[in-house]
Copies of this chain bind each other. A is one copy, B any other.
Amino acid sequence: MATETRPASTAGGGRRNRQDEVLLAAIEIFHRKGYAAASIQDVADSVGVLKGSLYHYIDSKEDLLARIFEGSDEQSFAMMGAIENRGLTAVERLEAFSRDWSLWHLNNLERASLYFNEWRHLTGERLEQVLQKRHDYEAAVARMINDVKAEGQADPDLDARYAAFYILSAINVLSSWYRRDGPDPPEHIAQVYADMIVGMVCNSRGRKKPRKASRKKKTAA
């Protein structure tokens, strides 16, 4: 019901509408307290509206969570699509993905944290959908790694599936380690992670220039 009447966010500039306010407030609160421990009251307080009024914007608490996930899905698949359409080599794709995906996590800490910690509170079709997307994502990364192997840049013995798990795991957890007030900007950390990931995948081959992808590479190029 609320779903259909929800007006599109005034995309352009300043005015952020209530729909978005509610979503943003929920992201922050579900992240901070955990979905189960957070209450609709908390969200209402944060938006500055009475608990009952929130139901003009959402259908249920779970619906609110699901809506957050929809947004995250859009963003993450847009990112993945952009990389695949840039005509890069396999190694470049892997590096770009590692960097951009890390960066997305660092720039969307709360959203990213929810995306990977609270999905079990979805039910029914929505849960299945999330699990499906997760699986697709893993498969896409495994494919990238296999592409790197096909290019001869990675150990043929490397298990692409486990490597994909490993990489996605490490990035997913970024949001739980990273402090916004730390010394390094997100871009730096994203690059470091990308270096480590590419280094791990491409290591150990008697290669000439074994994909250094380090923060100094630009100077050499």
Contact = CB atoms under 8 A, between A and B. Distances in A.
Interface string A167-182: 1011011101100000
A11 interface: no
Interface of A: 33-37, 89, 91-92, 95-96, 99, 117, 120-121, 157, 159, 162-163, 165-167, 169-170, 172-174, 176-177, 188-189, 191-196, 198-200, 202-204, 210-215, 218
Q: Interface on chain A toward B: helix, strand, loop, or mixed SS?
A: helix
A211 B215 contact: no
Nearest to A37: B36
A33 B169 CA distance: 21
Contacts of A37: 36, 121
A205 to B, nearest CB: 8
Contacts of A33: 120
Given A162-B196, A166-B170, 16 more contacts: A34-B36, A35-B36, A92-B215, A95-B215, A163-B196, A165-B177, A166-B196, A167-B170, A169-B170, A169-B172, A169-B176, A172-B173, A188-B215, A195-B214, A198-B213, A199-B203
Contact of A174 (B169, B176, B193, B202): B169
Contacts of A198: 211, 213
A117 B198 CA distance: 28
28 contacts: A34-B34, A34-B120, A35-B36, A92-B218, A117-B117, A159-B192, A162-B196, A163-B196, A165-B177, A167-B170, A169-B173, A169-B174, A169-B177, A170-B170, A172-B173, A188-B215, A191-B215, A194-B213, A195-B214, A198-B213, A199-B200, A199-B204, A202-B203, A203-B203, A203-B204, A203-B210, A204-B210, A204-B211
